């Protein structure tokens, strides 16, 4: 049996294991080890697989992940989330569907200090949903906007998924994080426009909330300063080259920590933030290690090279092939979590995409946007489960019904990125030329 056939068989078995519920990192590490042993023998295969966790775990770039995750949990436990939502509510509550629009903008603001989509969804399920229900918003819209708004943390820097993409394809983490800013804002604006249109067609779905004076609005603004300051520190330091992404994450964590302590954070609350950061970091690192063992197996089987050659030889325009790849991600996202899907597919798909002539930074943002879509796509849609878990009074099926319009919004957003790639590449290209 030749190496390529072993690679095909291993990939099929891996997909089967994932579909029956085996955790992605365990399935990848197991299949990767068996595949390497089948190709190069026990000594070479086990040696290759055994070296990866240490060799890849000590990569300096990976240290950015716990820093960005810590920023989000510290910001949440310091109460910055409630102040963001309060300011957004007072400034945008008057428009049709105003509280839902406020939730979108507040999640976008929190995403700029969080980097974890599920954490953002969990936070605003506690903060925003009770407020929307109190003003007569439908459960469907309230749950859907929180689940969809949480996905913005995948794009808006700092983003853990963008960091993982950069490490897998060996691209600049700084440029990718900067590139996610404008697409994240575009996604938020399209979400907001969709909510306003829906609320105008059916005012009972999301009535406007008025009664706030200009004095009240301006008084709410200082509560957003801590988040704005952290965002400026992180973004400006990376954009100007003053700090690496890891250094920017460390500075951001320190700034949020000082703000939290000054704001009265006690040891039990700090301990919870540190423990939650550790749990999420360990989960992500385990995924990276397991998938990279599988990636090494794919390299020995030459599967990525063969797939790239086949894709680039197809008699279709590159954009048609790209749309087919994105549809493949939609289907795969129905059965896998975002990070696992990204890690599992990139080793094979990325060389093909580059062979088609697409920019790696552009593709990084587009594929992470697809990861956002899979976070709200049934039956796996992790953000939907998070919202239903935090709010057991809202049935899971209502959450999934609530995200349906936002899936349409995501398709529109991807259309914008395909039609105008400069919306993604303009800012990082300025960074490169500065």
Q: Is residue 274 one of the residues assigned to a domain?
A: no
**pLDDT computed for residue 183 by the predictor:** 92
Using an 8 Å Cβ cutoff, are 99 and 213 in contact?
A: no
Across the 434 residues of the chain, what is the mean pLDDT of every consecutive 10-residue run?
Answer: 82 80 80 87 82 73 77 77 82 87 88 74 84 87 90 81 82 85 92 92 83 84 82 78 79 85 83 84 77 79 72 79 84 70 79 87 91 76 80 85 89 91 87 56
Question: Please, which residues have CB within 8 angstroms of residue 406's CB and are 6 or more apart in sequence?
Answer: 144, 145, 147, 148, 191, 194, 376
Q: Is residue 164 one of the residues assigned to a domain?
A: yes
Q: Is residue 294 one of the residues assigned to a domain?
A: no
Output the CA–CA distances (angstroms, integers) from residue 43 to 29, 38, 147, 307, in the order listed: 16, 11, 47, 28
Using an 8 Å Cβ cutoff, are 70 and 272 in contact?
A: no
- HEC-encoded secondary structure of the chain: CCHHHHHHHHHHHHHHHHHCCCCHHHHHHHHHHHHHHHHHHHHHHHHHHHHHHHHHHCCHHHHHHHHHHHHHHHHHHCCHHHHHHHHHHHHHCCCCCHHHHHHHHHHHHHHHHHCCHHHHHHHHHHHHHHHHHHCCCCHHHHHHHHHHHHHHHHCCCCCHHHHHHHHHHCCCHHHHHHHCHHHHHHHHHHHHHHHHHHHHHCCCCCCCCCCCCHHHHHHHHHHHHHHHHHHHHHHHHHHCCCCCHHHHHHHHHHHHHHHHHHCCCCHHHHHHHHHHHHHHHHHHHHHHHHHHHHHHHHHHHCHHHHHHHHHHCCCCCHHHHHHHHHHHHHHHHCCCCHHHHHHHHHHHHHHHHHHCCCCHHHHHHHHHHHHHHHCCCCCCCHHHHHHHHHCCCCCHHHHHHHHHHHHHHHHHHHHHHHHCCHHHHHHHHHHHHC
This prediction's pTM = 0.80
Across 72-91, b (16+ Cβ under 10 Å) vs e yields bbbbbbbbbbebbbbbbbbb
Give the structural domain span for 170: 59-265+302-433
**pLDDT computed for residue 365 by the predictor:** 93
Q: Is residue 17 one of the residues assigned to a domain?
A: no
Q: Is residue 276 one of the residues assigned to a domain?
A: no
The angle that helices 338-355 and 3-19 make with each other, rounded to 10 degrees, is 150
Question: Please, which residues have CB within 8 angstroms of residue 404's CB and are 6 or more apart in sequence?
Answer: 144
Q: Cα–Cα distance between 239 and 428 in angstroms, integer?
A: 8
Q: Is residue 341 one of the residues assigned to a domain?
A: yes
**pLDDT computed for residue 434 by the predictor:** 47
Considering its fold, how many domains does the chain have in total? Answer: 1
**pLDDT computed for residue 83 by the predictor:** 81
For residue 201, what are its two tokens? 């067609």
Q: Is residue 28 one of the residues assigned to a domain?
A: no
Q: Is residue 10 one of the residues assigned to a domain?
A: no
């Amino acid at each position: 049996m030749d190496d390529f056939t072993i690679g095909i068989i291993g990939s099929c078995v891996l997909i089967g294991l994932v579909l029956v519920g085996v955790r992605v990192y365990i399935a990848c590490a197991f299949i990767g080890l068996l595949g390497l042993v089948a190709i190069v023998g026990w000594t070479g295969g086990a040696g290759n697989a055994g070296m990866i966790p240490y060799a890849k775990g000590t990569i300096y770039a990976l240290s950015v992940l716990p820093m960005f995750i810590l920023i989000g949990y510290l910001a949440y436990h310091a109460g910055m989330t409630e102040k963001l939502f309060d300011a957004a509510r007072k400034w945008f509550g008057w428009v049709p569907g105003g509280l839902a629009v406020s939730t979108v903008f507040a999640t976008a603001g929190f995403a700029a200090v969080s980097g974890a989509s599920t954490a953002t969804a969990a936070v605003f399920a506690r903060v925003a949903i009770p407020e929307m229900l109190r003003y007569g918003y439908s459960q469907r819209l309230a749950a859907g906007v929180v689940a969809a708004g949480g996905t913005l943390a995948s794009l808006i820097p700092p983003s853990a998924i963008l960091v993982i993409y950069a490490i897998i394809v060996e691209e600049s983490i700084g440029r990718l994080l900067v590139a996610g800013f404008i697409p994240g804002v575009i996604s938020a604006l399209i979400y907001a426009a969709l909510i306003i249109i829906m609320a105008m067609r059916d005012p009972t779905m999301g009535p406007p909330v008025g009664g706030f004076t200009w004095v009240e609005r301006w008084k709410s603004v200082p509560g957003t300063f801590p988040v704005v300051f952290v965002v400026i520190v992180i973004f400006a330091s990376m954009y100007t080259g003053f700090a690496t992404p890891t250094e920017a994450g460390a500075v951001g964590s320190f700034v949020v920590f000082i703000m939290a302590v000054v704001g009265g954070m006690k040891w039990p609350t700090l301990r919870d933030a540190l423990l939650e950061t550790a749990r999420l970091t360990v989960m992500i690192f385990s995924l990276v290690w397991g998938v990279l063992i599988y990636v090494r197996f794919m390299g020995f089987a030459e599967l990525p090279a063969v797939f790239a050659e086949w894709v680039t030889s197809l008699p279709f325009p590159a954009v048609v092939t790209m749309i087919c790849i994105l549809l493949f991600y939609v289907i795969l996202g129905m059965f896998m979590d975002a990070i696992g899907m990204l890690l599992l597919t990139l080793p094979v798909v990325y060389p093909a995409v580059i062979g088609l002539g697409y920019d790696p930074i552009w593709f990084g943002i587009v594929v992470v946007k697809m990861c956002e879509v899979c976070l709200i796509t049934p039956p796996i849609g992790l953000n939907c489960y998070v919202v239903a878990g935090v709010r057991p009074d809202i049935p899971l099926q209502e959450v999934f019904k609530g995200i349906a319009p936002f899936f349409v919004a995501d398709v529109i957003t991807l259309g914008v990125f395909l039609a105008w790639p400069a919306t993604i590449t303009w800012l990082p290209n300025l960074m490169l030329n500065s």
